[in-house]
Structure 1
């Protein structure tokens, strides 16, 4: 993710020391159209990250004073040019610590959400953070999608299909009982 200006300014004072930052991960799902085969599964929007080449959901750092739902909508618009709507909370958990190529270290408190976009919405690259963006069947994810993101994608599908029985994930390392 591109470094927000407020973090660049903080780094002038604290160097590479670990920052604890609020962030969010957006699982954008395209549901199965009504009347489709029972074998059809939802599609998820993934972007190929410029920094490591891995496919991942859209994610971003909250700006000071910004609500996490505002961050989610803003990041989807900035990164893939789509107007999104937050539909559900999927969970909250720690990500990291992450050490970047320049030595900066961050620990993120991530809020994962399921978002929707217009039925015919097609993404476009909106910034330099990603090199490609496309829809993938949740049954056929690219190999480079990490374990945590696979769990969140599965949670998003479960929440969409059975909202009344869904419980958000509290911590990404294990499923709450």
Structure 2
């Protein structure tokens, strides 16, 4: 995956020292049509990463001055060729530390956002850059193996879509925290 230029510039000054980077995870769900059979579940858009072969939602780095929801929309277009819009904040959490083969260490402050297809736009994804080797829709009940945090966020996206008024964004990806008691 190409490293953004602003990260390369920072690395010239800080070397391999730990770096905090804003990241985004876009959970793109296709809703179940109202006339679908009762057993039908939403589908989620996943990419198979070129660097390690893992299936993940679309992820990326937020550019300097860019809003996370705009980065999610941009990343989906860049990686899959699909046009989406942001629907809801799913949560914010730390990812890392990630140790790269060149010695760099990075922690990501990830913002997870539920997205949906723009009405009237194409619905079939394609590999649109060199970051992925495959792109496809999966029923949320039949996900391929993936990291637990992605499963959590996909489940959160389905819950938020079904019950938006009762949904509370996740604060951290390791466990759900309850509200403080008064």
TM over 0.5: yes
3-state secondary structure, aligned to 1:21: strand
1:18 aligns with 2:2: no
- SS of residue paired to 1:95: strand
Normalising by the residue count of structure 2, what TM-score does the alignment of the two structures yield? 0.93
Aligned residue number for residue 38 of structure 1? 38
- Per-residue CA deviation, residues 44-85 of structure 1 (Å, 9 max, x unaligned), is 000001111100000111111111111111111111111110
Match of 1:171? 172
2:82 matched residue in structure 1: 82
The whole-number CA distance in structure 1 between the counterparts of 2:21 and 2:158 is 27
- Any residues of structure 2 matched to 1:7-156 within 5 Å, and which? 7-118=7-118, 120-143=122-145, 145-156=146-157
Which contiguous aligned blocks of 4+ residues in structure 1 show a shift greater than 3 angstroms? none
TM-score under structure 1 normalisation? 0.96
Distance in 1 between residues matched to 2:170 and 2:99, nearest whole Å: 25
Aligned residues: 176
Q: Return the alpha-carbon distance in structure 1 between the equivalents of residues 2 and 44 of structure 2.
A: 22
Deviations 1:115-169 (A, max 9, x none): 00146511111111111000000000002x1100000000000000000010000
For 1:174 and 1:126, the matched residues in 2 are separated by 34
